[in-house]
Amino acid sequence: MAKHNYSMQDAHSLDVHGHDDHCGSCAGAETLSPAAPVDINLQAGQALTQWFIEEMDCPTEEQLIRKRFAHFQGVERLDFQLMQRLLTVQHEIGQEQAIEQAIVGLGFNPVRNSAQGSAAQVRAQAEPTGQGRWEIGRISAAVVLALVAELGSWIQTGHWLWLLLAMVAIALSGLQVYKKGWVAIKNRNLNINALMSIAVTGAVLIGEWPEAAMVMSLFALAEWIEARSLDRARDAVGQLLSIAPEQAFFWDDHRAQWQQVDTARIPAGSLIRVRPGDRIALDGYVEQGISEVNQAPITGESAPVAKRKGDFVYAGTINGMAELQVRTQGTAQESTLAQIARAVQQAQQASTPLERFVDRFARIYTPIVVLLAVGIAVLPPLFGWLGWFDALYKALVLLVIACPCALVISTPIAVVSGLAVSARHGVLIKGGAYLERLRHLTFLALDKTGTLTTGRPRLYKHAVADSGDSTQVLACAHDLAARSDHPSSQAIQQGLQQVVVAESGHAVRELIDFEALPGRGVQSSIDGVVYRLGQLLWAVGVDPSQADESALIPASLRPVYEAGLQAGASFVFLSADHELLAIFLLEDSLKPGVADTVRALRHEGLELAILSGDAPAAVHHIAAQLGITGVYGGLLPEQKLAFVERVLDMHSVGMVGDGINDAPALAKADVGFAMGSLGSDMAIETADVAIMNDDLRQIHWVVRLSHRLHRILVENISIALGIKAVFLFWAILGEATMWMAVFADVGASLLVVFNSLRLLRNK
């Protein structure tokens, strides 16, 4: 099992001396350490520091911080993860305190993230035990007092009592809003706190105390509900990391006994013990024991997988009914689980096209509405159409709904939910843009081995030409195959093990100038002769454009070759100095559910084709079982790439593969899918989507998820814009009140949050 490092291509960042190409909310995820943008290069004397800022959840707060640090000495770059409320700063060493004080000066309460702290842990530091209960108690009291004041104001008596209740309600719910609003106004930034402060102050000045109290208390309550709801989406990926146990039983060589220690302290190469029913703490290989492991948290597989000595196990998966001893492959931060969390975190920083559209729209929406409010407050009274108080009240209503927060969070929270639920199902997507792009696919190119078939071929027949010594030829084939990790080579090595090693006592030789050529085979010099094991034309050194394959087969091997053609076998050939010596017939089987998945993908409107480096006859044999007519066998990596390039002129193309020879085509396709656990590191790094359990059915599932995500994004944008438009119209007509405007603003935010969270329940 190869370890894979997932890397992203896009991050929402800002060079502090310039601007990024879009503005708005970006989604982050839980991390084990401060999240560094992938393209950042720390210079000598520079450092990265991350802060959790509870109050920073809207683009207006981001703009406020950007403006503050635009010319700040020693700060090179800012990276925002608004949904996680995390700010990462690239700065000169020693500037941490000055930066933190500057953030505090903006009215925020930053909490510095330690090297081991996740966003959830930092959030816990920012909100001590009991603070949440006090906050909701304070807000609830303010709402009750404001409601009593509003109802009491309809009674002709007790005016001063209702005024007093309204003042207390505003004080309980609005002091923090006023503080933040004042800081924003000083910095010439119209965020929601500034707009709300202006609106409530205006209502007080025109004598609408009860309504001002209702506006402020309802705003505080809705903000609290929205924050708790957003936390659910923020923590969705962080829950991945929480499934790994914090402690494990570790074999201490010095004390010669088992010790229970923190998982983070266990070095790579250690021996850990996993009791029945416990979660496995670290990635590694089983060294002792036989059990079944539930891998659903990583791969999404529903059935437990049998594990014995030499098998790989993931951190966070659940051991069955027998004890296992595992030799760890890496540290806690190097585990597949930690890499998944980092991959999804980075994926959430990449904006989708819809997000970028919404960000651009939001940048012009608030100034326009504020100017409209100013116009309504001034122009009608000047022309005698309205009294000053009536005009001012209408303008205040507009100010309440001028903030674009509902619109801005309408897309990233849905994308975060989609990426999180994908990761939980064993599908890693390297950005929201790819998740959204999946619904546009019209053509899907599929590799054969490891994608449609199990990728574990079996050697079922072999033959040696009359010109070769059988024992020596098979020994050479065995030694070449033993040096390669290609599935076909492994099948030959295992198939010849009994004949070459067990029966003749042959010892595997050291090979000189061994070389593996993707899409062709392996070669080496043995006793001064160059042996090649791989494709026929390459093995015999013939130009593919000038050869008839069947004519190259010696007469003594032709019966076996023709029988293999009839059976749809895959062929591997052995040659010595371009003379054909032996033929090996391999068979592979379809993965479970592949036929049903192919039919389902066709039902989604996708055209399918198989691209394979295997012999055309073997590829046609598999294609016939699946009813796929686009069949291309014997392809080299550059030929797969050329095919994808041609199809891109007519289709939106997805490419599915698992090997090095698939990497160029994976990179070129609109969306590249890598079969994760069997795939090579290069294929995983190149692809946009990694299927961790190698199950083709996951592709159909994630395509459907993409369609559902798009529907929810459209619904969210429609809700946010629709509610704003209706209340803008009502406000201009004078039919909307201020507390109704609060419902329009924060109510829209709550609706899009709840609608987006439906994706977390996707099955």
Domain extent listing, the chain = 247-334, 427-453+591-692, 458-587
DSSP 8-state symbol, 751: H
Domain 458-587 has CATH 2.30.42.10: no
DSSP track, 327-361: EE-S-GGGSHHHHHHHHHHHHHTSPPHHHHHHHHH
Distance CA 440, CA 295 (A): 31
pLDDT of residue 574: 94
Q: pLDDT below 70 — which residues of the chain?
A: 1-41, 57-60, 83, 114-132, 156-158, 226, 229-242, 299-302, 340-356, 359, 362, 405-406, 502-505, 544-547, 659-660, 676-685, 762-763
CATH class of 427-453+591-692: alpha beta
**Long-range CB pairs of 751-754, under 8 A, 24+ apart, other chains included:** 751/406, 751/719, 751/723, 752/406, 752/409, 752/410, 752/413, 752/414, 752/716, 752/719, 752/720, 753/226, 753/229, 753/230, 753/233, 753/409, 753/413, 754/229
- Measured from the Cβ of residue 483, the count of other Cβ atoms closer than 10 Å reads 17
pLDDT of residue 37: 45
Domain 247-334 has CATH 3.40.50.300: no
pLDDT of residue 532: 94
543 is catalytic: no
pLDDT of residue 454: 82
Distance CA 459, CA 305 (A): 25
List beta partners, residue 110. 53
Distance CA 118, CA 505 (A): 56
Q: Residues 313, 315, 317, 320: is their CA dihedral positive or negative? A: positive
Q: Which of 57, 79, 447, 695 is catalytic?
A: 447
- Global confidence as pTM: 0.66
Number of H helices, E strands in the chain: 25, 27
